[in-house]
Structure 1
């Protein structure tokens, strides 16, 4: 059985003020083309189908069109919700699309299992949408709370009856031990960019996945393997922030699953419609080049120019300026143009305010509590 693994489609997303509709449609079409070319039988989507829980009608139409292109070629789709999705809304489209589209929008225990057969027997796909410890506690009706995500995953796994003689694949949308941030994940953890300290969101240990032949992960935007070739974050299909520019190119994972224990994995590249590039130089140099006007650009101005002066001179030359940095400007932190506030998470503002008022840092317990609150608010209210 050949399988394509992707995640973090973020349909409906913007970069700054730029609508990524055309860019997203372009890469989704590449996913379809790749699936057809590779003779894929199943496409896995490991969460964050949409960029917000209440997607626009246009975003919904794009997703449904993407699914229909796959289903019309008899390619099955198995999808779970991520922290950006509304599970109820995501599940609604299964009635429109009919057979071949399997979706799990809300956490359930035991996990929903879809079994598909090939010449070697059944392949079991376990669907684990994004969850929090609170969701697990409520669903399982536990008397005591769960302190972290790893303990929550313990409770989930011990209720499963996994036949390890068969081939088993799990879809999940969580932080798993050993990951590296991609730079554009929009979670509400208080991590300060440190993947070893994802306070409030928490990391799930690798041993929880030992009974699975392939682990199809979403949530991290940087494509990467974790420990072994068959535990993977597919990564997002597009680069969304300046911190991703120098990172690895985007791709989807192609899995060639044969008999138990025989599995091959390869990456198939995804090319953007409009590349996201970084250009550095003096203002005179930046206004004396011939850039591709359709690129998304991150400009670094090495002069002692004011941000307003530089922006006024650069705007006519670059159609899609995402951000401009002024390393020599002492006011850089105060005037990071349009994106500095957008890059901050709500929890960052609260922690900074608390520090200003009390002259001390917010303790870890309260950071975790705030992170939980923001995650729930994000799912219910559609707020980034």
Structure 2
């Protein structure tokens, strides 16, 4: 049996205020072509289908179009919910969907598989929706079997996987588990969710996933191989500049009569490349640099000693897709580390005090000669005005 493992579509997410709907539709079209070209039997979408618990009408339309297109290839489609999804909204049409499209959002059905047969017999797919302990605890008041309440996602996921293994015991054959969580062993530099960066890491031990022939995980936006049989596919689009160098794609998983046989990475196209350009603003606006990146999403980091006037406006005149601009002055090795109070101790005149202030806010860079002339002119004008009073 051939399985395509994808996740974290985040339909409806914006990129620095720009819609990603058209780009995502293009990428999902390419993914559908890969399903057809590789004769995939089952497509697994491991959570975060939507970016919001209240998706727009356009987001539902895009999801519907994608599911129909995948179904028309002849593949079965199995979808689980993630932390960004509303399980109720994602799953409300589950009973009405055409045969071959399965949306699994009910925690109480974790141990009940979707079974797909091939020439070697059944393969059982166990979908685990995102499990927020405070919400799903009511469904399992007995806790983890030792009398302890389910308080962490690690405990909750361990209990869910116990239910999966119990389901495996009742249903002979090969098995695949689908889950959405943060598993131990993930490279924390690759595409973490916004909530993960802002909060603590509720890490699920890798041993929790023992048992199934393959475990398709979602929640991390970069591909990850935690073991031969436990993997993250990542998001199909780049949703932040931190992900710009990470490949986009999905895992093509082959299961034979004995279980997991082979896993191959299928690259997806990148509709618009993301780049971070660093250097003085004039250098970023040079004809050579602009020619190389005019069609890219650009994060511009200009390193001039002082803030420049209207940098975003100037950049967008050359880079229509400049999404972000940052001022990060180069720190010189000989930079003066004195505090502002220390600088003022040696300031005698008003001009000295202005120099001290500029050096402090500019990481040691004092006024230019042109600025000194302007400062002297202003101070002289003030003296003349006071003399007339």
What are the residue-to-residue correspondences of 1:100-249 with 2, within 5 Å? 100-142=100-142, 145-159=149-163, 160-163=166-169, 166-181=173-188, 182-187=190-195, 190-191=198-199, 198=201, 202-226=202-226, 228-246=227-245, 248-249=246-247
- Equivalent in the alignment of 2:31: 31
TM-superposed CA distance for 1:127, in Å, is 0.5
Distance 2:309 2:229 in 1: 49
Tell me, yes or no, if the aligned pair for 2:112 and 2:167 is still in contact at 8 Å: no
> What RMSD in Å do the two structures reach over aligned CA positions?
2.0
Distance 1:307 1:232 in 2: 45
- Equivalent in the alignment of 2:50: 50
Give the paired residue count: 320
- Equivalent in the alignment of 1:88: 88
Name the SS for the 1:97 alignment partner: coil
Tell me, yes or no, if the aligned pair for 1:81 and 1:106 is still in contact at 8 Å: no
Q: Residue 16 and residue 110 in structure 1: after superposition, are their counterparts in 2 closer, same or farther (change >3 A)?
A: closer
Instruction: With a CA cutoff of 8 Å and minimum separation of 6, indicate the structure with the bigger relative contact order.
Output: 1
Distance 1:113 1:328 in 2: 56
TM-superposed CA distance for 1:157, in Å, is 3.1
Distance 2:124 2:65 in 1: 27
Q: Residue 326 and residue 262 in structure 1: after superposition, are their counterparts in 2 closer, same or farther (change >3 A)?
A: same
Q: Residue 307 and residue 89 in structure 1: after superposition, are their counterparts in 2 closer, same or farther (change >3 A)?
A: farther
Name the SS for the 2:69 alignment partner: helix
TM-score with structure 1 setting the length: 0.78
Name the SS for the 2:291 alignment partner: coil
Tell me, yes or no, if the aligned pair for 2:131 and 2:157 is still in contact at 8 Å: no
Distance 1:165 1:89 in 2: 33
Q: Residue 84 and residue 308 in structure 1: after superposition, are their counterparts in 2 closer, same or farther (change >3 A)?
A: farther
What are the residue-to-residue correspondences of 1:278-357 with 2, within 5 Å? 278-288=276-286, 289-306=290-307, 308-328=309-329
- Equivalent in the alignment of 1:359: none
Tell me, yes or no, if the aligned pair for 2:214 and 2:260 is still in contact at 8 Å: no
Which structure features the higher share of helix residues?
Answer: 2
Tell me, yes or no, if the aligned pair for 2:110 and 2:126 is still in contact at 8 Å: no
Distance 1:189 1:315 in 2: 30
Distance 1:295 1:276 in 2: 6
